[in-house]
Amino acid sequence: MHFLVPLAFGWLGSVGVLVWLWRYATSRHQIRVSSLVPFEHLMRRQPSHRRRVVVNWLFWLQCACLVLIAMSLAQPMWLARSTKTLLLVLDTSASMSAHEGLGRTPFARARQHLLSRLNGLGSGERVVLVTTAPVRALTPEPTTDRFTVQQLLRTTHAADLGGRLSSAAGLGAAVLGATPDEMVIATDEPVPSSLPPSVHLLSSGEAVPNVAIVGVEAYEPLCLPPLDAQLPDSSVDTSHLAIVLHNFSAQAQEVEVHAKQHGRLLAQQRRPLGANERGEVVLTLESPSSDAPIELHVRAPHDALAADNQAWVMLHGRQSVSVAVASDRPEFVEAIGRWLDACPGMTWRSTPLPPHSNTSDELLVTDQMSQALAWPGAALVYAQAERTTPSLAHWLPARPDGYGVAGSHIVTTYLRPLEPVATAIADTPSSGGEPVLWALRNGQRVPLVRVQIDQGRRLVSCAFDPTAMPSSVPAIVLFFNSVRWLVTSQMVGSTGEPLIVGPLPPGAVRVERPDGVVERLAHGGGMVRYDATDHAGVYRLSQGDTVEARAVNMIDSLESNMQQRTSTWATPPAGRGISSPAGIVPARSAALREAASPMHRLPLAPWLIGVIVALLLIEWRLYVRRGRV
């Protein structure tokens, strides 16, 4: 036990005062007795000095009170290592907001589960609360204050994001500094087949039907071919929106999609979707304005989640695309430049390495992967010539997996399957991203084109050298398809991915969020990065007269599929701790956990005060019985 104010023990001197007061009271208190005659021989003796204070239970009670008061003033603290650690994981992903009828949502049930668990929190039990979307620790450090944690739970809401349970668990373990003694996960995901004994997963989700927007692509009138043959020839004033819908239910539904701008209906379409069917709706927008986002809404008879029923698209309304070509090979710049010159809607410049971005909308075309990864905007990367081998390969567009949709990625539009193309293919295939185009060479499939979206930035990597085939039609079609896909990244974003705008001069940047919250960012100049895109809608970043608007949408098939939910819990390898976003956190030894766990302070003053009050009540009762009141 420790005392925060040891000097308070000086109050023990009050015991001496008490003794003096008793002595004084004794000398003043007169007791009438029947007779002193039997004690006359005693009265002739002088009583010893130490017997001059006659004490009884009241005196000792008062002494005890004074001692306890002195101890309370010294603020004793009982230091003990916390007995138990508890990690609470609350799934705040978009699917938790699904309406399951009668106003119930999985999130409300999950939150109630955790609140109930906190009601049974033992003294000294340390708690960490983390959410999955975004992965964040609501308690920056372990706490024993259950009221604070309950309040955090009550003020937390689901986000328009997908979440990952094991990532949140890893973050919680990192905050605790060790594997928690108990982990409680409240989610709508199904219980995985294998869970550690200390992990309790409370699944509160039910299978409900849902129709969701799972993809949006906007095509502005550039000198680009129309999306498909069914559409009329595009005009310079016409934009197209390709909305991919999925019916996550066991019954067919008639889905209605409409696009509005400034409250004005621009286009609408109805389309039947079979059970668990994915389909595409293309809306043609006549002369849309570029000063406001296009709002897309989807309506279906049976739909549980509202967050994936709407999307926003920012049309830039420009007639040209800015492209920067960066390479240390003049033939590369020349070949790409010739392709770009074929389209008046594209303006391009050659920039030396390392390339510098003029705007966040500028597209980079290079043969240096490192430069593409450092580029703030979208990039198209080709292989370097010295690392390629010419061959006649059959190009095969990849089929998306899982949904049986005919067709392929936008990047491979108009490419005929198994078309033989003389290609200088990279000796070392690129890695990273989803292969959308394969090359069949010598009986082997080689990934030729990969696409990836990394933190909101789109990247297309082509494992062949364009300078070896500058007149190849498939290569040119592939080039323009890639450009089209890369350009739309600025028009449609996803929740959870950072927004990158600029460059802006140094100074405060004002951020208006879709939920109405306004934030101010301190900006030191250059590109502005905003990470908190957890709500779908339009984000406006402004500095002075400069305003940059970005649309962010909740597009996540995993979250939208509430008919067949998927578990995002990954069991760590045996002998390892819980996986964390940074990797695997190894399970610590007991000694290290002991050293890492902080001491738990239990103030004893309230208990002492309770004892003092009890003693005073006893004393009062004794006084009443003795008739001294």
Partner 1 sequence: MTSSLRPLDPVLLRRLEALQLAVRRMRWGSTLGGRYAINRRGSSVEFADYTPYTPGDDIRSIDWNLYARLDRLYVKTYQEEVELSVEVMIDATASMALPTPKKIERAIEIALCLAYVALAGHHRVRMSAVAPGTPHATPWCTRRADLTRMTEWAAHLTGRGAVSMMEWMRRAQAGLRMHGGHAVVITDGLMPPAELFQALHGLLMQRVEMKLIQVLTPQELHPSRIFRGGVLVDSESGRTHELAYGAEELERAMLAHNERLARFCTRNGILFAQHRLDEPLETFALKTLPSRGFFE
Residue among 38 and 524 whose Cβ is closer to partner 1: 38
Rounded Cα distance between 300 and 298, Å, is 7
Identified binder of partner 1 from the candidate list 5, 10, 21, 27, rule CB under 8 A:
27
Tell me the CA end-to-end span of the chain in Å, nearest whole number: 39
Exposure string for 315-333, b = 16+ CB within 10 A, e = fewer: beeeeebbbbbbbeeeebb
H-assigned helices in 156-297: 165-176
CB nearer to partner 1: pick between 26 and 287:
26
Q: Is 124 helix (H, G, I), strand (E, B) or coil?
A: coil
- Residue 16 Cβ, how far from partner 1 at the closest point, in Å? 18
Residues in the chain: 629
**Cα separation of 463 and 450, whole Å?**
8
Whole-angstrom distance, CA of residue 482 vs CA of residue 380: 7
Binding region for partner 1 (CB under 8 A) out of 53-61, 210-218, 220-228, 550-558: 53-61
Among 30, 119, 155, 194, binds partner 1 (CB under 8 A): 30
Out of 1, 6, 24, 39, which residue is the one contacting partner 1 (CB under 8 A)?
Answer: 39
Give the C-alpha separation, 543 to 580, whole Å: 37
- In the beta sheet, which residues pair with residue 349? 324
SS3 16: helix
- The stretch among 30-38, 342-350, 525-533, 610-618 that binds partner 1 (CB under 8 A) is 30-38
Q: Which is nearer to partner 1, 32 or 625 (CB)?
A: 32
Give the range of 44-52, 343-351, 457-465, 578-586 binding partner 1 by CB under 8 A.
44-52
Pick 46 or 155: Cβ nearer partner 1: 46
How far apart are alpha carbons 521 and 503 in whole angstroms? 14
| Residue with Cβ nearer partner 1 (36 or 229) | 36
Q: Which region, judged by CB under 8 A, interacts with partner 1, from 26-34, 118-126, 375-383, 573-581?
A: 26-34
Minimum CB distance to partner 1 smaller for 36 or for 590: 36
Distance, CA of 94 to CA of 494 (rounded, Å): 13
Distance (Å, whole) CA 578 – CA 564: 26
Bridging pattern class, strands 182-187 and 199-203: parallel
Which residues inside 5-24 make contact with partner 1, applying CB under 8 A? 22
37 binds partner 1 (CB under 8 A): yes
Pick the closer one to partner 1 by CB: 42 or 406: 42
Site membership for partner 1, residue 53 (CB under 8 A)? yes
CB of 47 to partner 1, least distance (A): 5
CA angle 621, 623, 624 (to 5 degrees): 65
CA–CA distance, 585 with 178 (Å, rounded to integer): 8
Find the binder of partner 1 among 2, 11, 16, 32 (CB under 8 A): 32
Of 46 and 193, which has the nearer Cβ to partner 1? Answer: 46
* Residue 623 sits in the site that holds partner 1 (CB under 8 A): no
> Considering the complex, what minimum distance in angstroms separates the CB of residue 53 from partner 1?
7
Q: CB of residue 628 vs partner 1: minimum separation in angstroms? A: 12
Number of residues that bind partner 1 (CB under 8 A): 26
Name the residue nearer to partner 1 (CB basis): 41 or 520.
Answer: 41
Strand 537-543 to 546-553 pairing? antiparallel
Comparing C-alpha atoms, which of 183, 603, 600 is closest to residue 175?
Answer: 183
SS3 276: coil
Among 7, 51, 140, 628, binds partner 1 (CB under 8 A): 51
Of residues 2, 4, 16, 26, which one binds partner 1 by CB under 8 A?
26
Out of 8, 17, 18, 47, name the contact with partner 1 by CB under 8 A.
47
* Using rule CB under 8 A, residue 406 touches partner 1: no
Q: Quick one: angle between helices 57-73 and 605-626, nearest 10? A: 160
According to CB under 8 A, which one of 31, 102, 229, 590 is a site residue for partner 1? Answer: 31
Q: Which is nearer to partner 1, 40 or 233 (CB)?
A: 40
Nearer to partner 1, 43 or 250 (CB): 43
Residue 28 Cβ, how far from partner 1 at the closest point, in Å? 8
Return the residue of 10, 16, 21, 29 that touches partner 1, per CB under 8 A: 29
Residue that is written with structure tokens 């309230």 in the block: 606
Among residues 391, 380, 334, the alpha carbon closest in space to that of 355 is found at 380
The whole-angstrom separation of Cα 96 and Cα 206 is: 10
The minimum distance between CB 622 and partner 1, in angstroms, equals 13
Query: Binding of partner 1 at residue 42 (CB under 8 A)?
Result: yes
| Least separation in angstroms between CB 612 and partner 1 | 25
d(CA 519, CA 614): 54
For partner 1, the closer of residues 54 and 508 by Cβ is 54
CB of 29 to partner 1, least distance (A): 4
Our finding on whether 629 is near partner 1 (CB under 8 A) is no
Establish whether the linkage from the previous residue to 354 is cis, with ω within 30° of 0: yes
Least distance from partner 1 to the Cβ atom of residue 12, Å: 24
Which of residues 7, 41, 520, 590 is near partner 1 by CB under 8 A?
A: 41
The CB-of-124 to partner 1 minimum distance in angstroms stands at: 47
Question: Which part of the chain contacts partner 1 (CB under 8 A), choosing from 28-36, 248-256, 478-486, 503-511?
Answer: 28-36
Residue carrying structure tokens 């010598």:
442
The region of 47-55, 341-349, 399-407, 491-499 touching partner 1 under the rule CB under 8 A is 47-55
Select the residue interacting with partner 1 from 4, 5, 21, 54 (CB under 8 A).
54
Q: Is 550 left (phi over 0), alpha (psi -120 to 50) or beta?
A: beta
36 part of the interface to partner 1, by CB under 8 A: yes
Give the span between the Cα atoms of 336 and 325, in whole angstroms: 8
| Residues forming a β-bridge with 526 | 504
Q: Which stretch binds partner 1 (CB under 8 A): 42-50, 359-367, 474-482, 535-543?
A: 42-50
Residue 46 contacts partner 1 per CB under 8 A? no
Instruction: Tell me the C-alpha distance between 256 and 254, whole Å.
Output: 7
Residue whose pair of structure tokens reads 């897309």 in the numeric block: 296
Measured from the CB atom, the residue of 32 and 520 that comes closer to partner 1 is: 32
Residue range at the interface with partner 1 (CB under 8 A); choices 34-42, 328-336, 434-442, 588-596: 34-42
613: number of Cβ within 10 Å: 11
- Confirm if 135 and 171 have CB atoms less than 8 A apart: yes
The answer to whether residues 310 and 257 touch, using CB atoms and an 8 Å cutoff, is: no
Distance CA(390)–CA(386), nearest Å, equals 11
Q: Residue 464: left if φ>0, alpha if ψ -120 to 50, beta else—which one?
A: beta
- Binding region for partner 1 (CB under 8 A): 22, 25-39, 41-43, 47, 51-56
